[in-house]
Amino acid sequence: MLITDKKLKELNEMAAQLRCDVIEMLLEAKSGHSAGPLGMADVFTALYFSGILNVDPKNPNWEDRDRVILSNGHICPIHYAALARAGFFPVEELKTLRKFGSRLQGHPHAGILPGIDNSSGPLSQGSSIAVGLAYAAKMDHKKWQVYCIAGDGEQQEGQTWEAAMFAGKHKLDNLTFLMDRNNIQIDGFTEDVMPLEPLKEKYEAFGWHVLEIDGHNIPAIIDAIEHAKSIYEEPVMIICHTIPGKGVNFMEWKPEWHGKAPNQEEALKALKELRTLQGRISSEAE
């Protein structure tokens, strides 16, 4: 897919806006996860604002839509922000994150919020849901694609590899995973808690086509997803190397921000940094 300079600047602006939305949501909620949502802003921007996804915000339950499964449900603030900015529900509703009676729960709940295709919370269950959906689409001769967002920490779950085996066996080439390879989890760095490497070779051994990209390079993300559509008889794993807390200097690469929300002082500092970046991008676009 050809991305013009103008379009790329628009996408970078959107990614910056989504990061601001995440900080504002977490501040209002006074709880939630910071590092992962900020780190995956560019991936969600590529998915929802470049034309890759075949979805319709005005008809979110359209039968022939592509499915987006969020396996690492704790990063849902970035998913909610992308859905709202894409027109699935009012942007003002983002401020209700984690509040009593809100449709924006701390982990997504399918059936109550437009654009959410699965309930998630227990890590790795989304992997099996995505694989099952892709298999069902094959059985029914449907052309829609299944995209699964997964964390690297959940690669430590046995269910992940059962799903990977099944997808490889059944040659689910309508299935694309995007792994947030940010190297952190709630207890520290993944390679200290339970080493994951060599991830690429592991998935290849299970019959997957594997791509590794910079998860903050929007053209690279788009190219990888487009490339995935051309792969025949293999599911695709796109390992997105990201920086946890991306865009907020004091959060980047800090495992303690995996499951912590900023206080007011921290949020104001983060928003100042993010809005400065957003303003710089806007100025370059003029």
* Inter-residue contact 53 to 147 (CB < 8 Å): yes
Q: Quick check: 113 pLDDT over 60? A: yes
**Helices 41-49 and 76-85, packing angle to 10 deg:** 30
Q: Calculate mean pLDDT across residues 122-127.
A: 93
Helix (H) / strand (E) containing 179:
strand 175-181
Structure tokens at 161: 């590899």
In tens, the pLDDT along 165-203 reads 999 999 999 999 999 999 999 999 999 999 999 999 999
Helix (H) / strand (E) containing 18:
helix 5-29
In tens, the pLDDT along 206-227 reads 999 999 999 999 999 999 999 9
Q: Quick check: 286 pLDDT over 90? A: no
pLDDT-derived band at 244, boundaries 50, 70, 90: very high
- Backbone φ, ψ for residue 105 (5° rounding): -75, 170
**Average pLDDT, rounded, for the chain:** 95
What is residue 121's predicted lDDT score, i.e. its pLDDT? 85
In tens, the pLDDT along 254-272 reads 999 999 999 999 999 999 9
Q: Calculate mean pLDDT across residues 12-20.
A: 97
Say whether the peptide bond before residue 57 is cis (omega within 30 degrees of 0): no
* Inter-residue contact 215 to 246 (CB < 8 Å): no
Q: Quick check: 159 pLDDT over 90? A: yes
What is residue 69's predicted lDDT score, i.e. its pLDDT? 98
CATH architecture of 5-285: 3-Layer(aba) Sandwich (3.40)
Cα 181 to the chain's mean position, in Å? 11
Q: Quick check: 85 pLDDT over 70? A: yes
Identity at 138, one-letter amino acid code: K
What is residue 279's predicted lDDT score, i.e. its pLDDT? 77
In whole angstroms, give the CA distance from residue 54 to residue 66: 5
In whole angstroms, give the CA distance from residue 142 to residue 128: 19
Structure tokens at 93: 């509703």
**For the chain, what are the domain ranges?**
5-285
* Inter-residue contact 230 to 240 (CB < 8 Å): no
Token pair 């490889």 in the structure block, residue: 168
What is residue 285's predicted lDDT score, i.e. its pLDDT? 54
| Beta pairing partners, 68 | 147
* Inter-residue contact 236 to 209 (CB < 8 Å): yes
| Beta pairing partners, 148 | 69, 177
Structure tokens at 253: 């690469």
Question: Mind giving me the DSSP string for 56-70?
Answer: -TTSTT-TTSPEEEE
